[in-house]
Amino acid sequence: MATIRFTKDHEYVSVDGDIATVGITDYAQSQLGDVVYVELPTAGKTLKQGDEAAVVESVKAASEVYAPVSGTVVEINAGLPDSPSDVNEDPLGKGWFLKLRLANPAELDALMDEAAYQAHIGA
């Protein structure tokens, strides 16, 4: 079963083994409004925790998506640039951005669990 952690900047990371799936939370997509453009990194790119991993643009604003953990990009959601509305419709499902091979699993310990994230957003 996947472990899900959250950042204060509203990224999520869902970890299964040594692969981390990264995207933005439902709260983040609701704040952005209709997503119209997504820019993703290339496979093979190495990201450090906190690095800009992707860019998402909506009718309201453009926002960076930061790597919640360090790792190497092993896969991107290739359909997302052609269907950016997936981020609004299913942010934790088909609206994922990229998958990383974890470089330092201990970094997950600094991220919030679901209950802490819900408290963070005032839910």
- 3-120: what fold? OB fold (Dihydrolipoamide Acetyltransferase, E2P) (2.40.50)
**What's the pLDDT at 1?**
60
8 A C-beta contact, residue 96 and residue 79: no
Q: What integer best gives the mean pLDDT of the chain?
A: 96
- pLDDT category at 9 given cuts 50, 70, 90 is very high
Q: What is the mean pLDDT of residues 63-88?
A: 97
Burial of 78 (0-12, 13-18, 19+ CB in 10 A): exposed
Give the amino acid at 45.
K
- pLDDT category at 123 given cuts 50, 70, 90 is confident
pLDDT in tens, 21-52: 999 999 999 999 999 999 999 999 999 999 99
pTM of whole model > 0.75?
Answer: yes
